[in-house]
Amino acid sequence: MLSYQHVYHAGNFADAHKHWALSLLLQALCKKSTPWRYLETHAGRGDYDLTSEEAQKTSEWTAGILPLMQAKGPCPPEFDAYLAAVRALNPNTERLTRYPGSPAIAAGFLRETDQLALCELHPGEYAELKRQFGRNRQIHIHQRDGFEGVMAMSPPPEKRGLVMIDPSYELKEDYQRIPAYVNKLTKKWSNAIIAIWYPILAEKRHEKMLELMRQLPLNKTLRSELILTPVARGMYGSGMLVVNSPWRLDEQLQAGWAYLSEALRGDPKASCSADWLIAE
Ligand SMILES: C[S@@+](CC[C@H](N)C(=O)[O-])C[C@H]1O[C@@H](n2cnc3c(N)ncnc32)[C@H](O)[C@@H]1O
């Protein structure tokens, strides 16, 4: 069993980037009335307690969601859905005490006809997901390997939807595994929107993954990256690839970048980009 626990990192700058982009993808799916399904390989627990010992130990959220929530000035409408999901968990307080993980954000977009399928291997995280969402008939929770589970469940009956791939990259082979996985997945379900989050580390391991992705026979694949001041060790950037990127996602990300960079004002070198890894 891997040791990674997302509660230490919940709400950090990378989550702000990832979950903001995720909210834009879910909004895009809701533009049509036809049902969609959201499948996630590595769901986490869905709702993080920012007052917990673990979250307090690193306090990463104080340099991510906290300054974003406190940012002054007119907030671009592109952030409305994401920030509403954070506020929904913190209704009666000015203080942030909880942070929504990707399952909670996706659950907030469910219409009567839509479904979530969430895979999470860790017994504690799985139990917490079950506790939160187990009674919702539209949310299917699986304690199984997410790569294997999502592949087995694809394509879903709706044939329309989003696959979120968000491993911890504790296993270095994930960087090689993901392009091969996406290649296989798109052969089973060609019009799936596939979001792949990746860390940007001093070792720049993501570059090999991007190179391998570029060689795949994919349609429009958008890359968006949020980069802070480089550090000698650890993560200093957050990346997201979106295969079969919805119409105008690039413009929406670009419209919000200045605000996001400004909100992370503790880091004057914060920079953002959205470009096509694979154009149509
Ligand atoms: C980065 S966290 C997920 C965060 C979540 N997607 C979010 O944005 O809120 C990665 C999660 O994957 C789980 N995990 C690790 N290996 C897994 C596997 N093979 N299949 C499914 N889940 C796994 C870990 O327990 C951890 O909760």
C-alpha 141 – ligand 1 centre gap (Å)? 13
Instruction: Mark the ranges of the chain whose per-residue pLDDT is less than 70.
Output: 1-2
Q: Residue 1: inside a domain, yes or no?
A: no
Whether 52 is in the pocket of ligand 1, judged by its Cβ within 6 Å, is no
90-144 pLDDT, tens per residue?
987 778 999 999 999 999 999 999 999 999 999 999 999 999 999 999 999 999 9
Number of domains in the chain: 1
115 has which bridge partners? 37
Ligand 1 proximity of 102 Cβ (cutoff 6 Å): yes
Q: For residue 192, tell me if it sits in a domain.
A: yes
Q: Give me the long-range contacts of 246-251 (CB less than 8 A, separation at least 24).
A: 246/25, 246/28, 246/29, 246/193, 247/28, 249/21, 249/24, 249/25, 249/28, 249/222, 249/274, 250/222, 250/274, 250/275, 250/276
pLDDT for position 237? 94
**Residues spanned by the domain of 222:** 6-278
With respect to residue 10, please indicate whether it lies within any of the assigned structural domains. yes
- Is position 166 annotated as part of the catalytic site? yes
User: What is the rounded CA–CA span in Å between residue 207 and residue 45?
Assistant: 29
Whether residue 21 is contained in a domain is answered as: yes
Task: Determine, yes or no, domain membership for 22.
Answer: yes
| Nearest Cα residue to atom 16 of ligand 1 | 121
Which pLDDT belongs to residue 135?
95
Counting from 1 in the atom list of ligand 1, the atom nearest the Cα of 122 is 25
Q: Using CA atoms, how far apart are residues 180 and 118, in angstroms rounded to an integer?
A: 21
Q: Give the per-residue pLDDT at 1.
A: 54
Q: How far is CA 221 from CA 170, 197, 215, in A?
A: 25, 13, 12
Asked if residue 25 is part of any domain, the answer here is yes
* CA–CA separation, 199 and 43 (whole Å): 17
Q: State whether residue 73 is helix, strand or coil.
A: coil
Token match 């968000």: residue?
166
In a domain, 100, yes or no: yes
In a domain, 164, yes or no: yes
User: pLDDT tens-digit profile of 254-274?
Assistant: 999 888 988 887 777 788 889
Task: Report CA torsion sign: 89, 272, 71, 13.
Answer: positive
Look up the CATH number of the domain holding residue 181. Answer: 3.40.50.150
146 is in an annotated binding site: yes
What pLDDT does residue 133 have? 96
Rounded distance between C-alpha atoms, residue 193 and residue 223, angstroms: 13
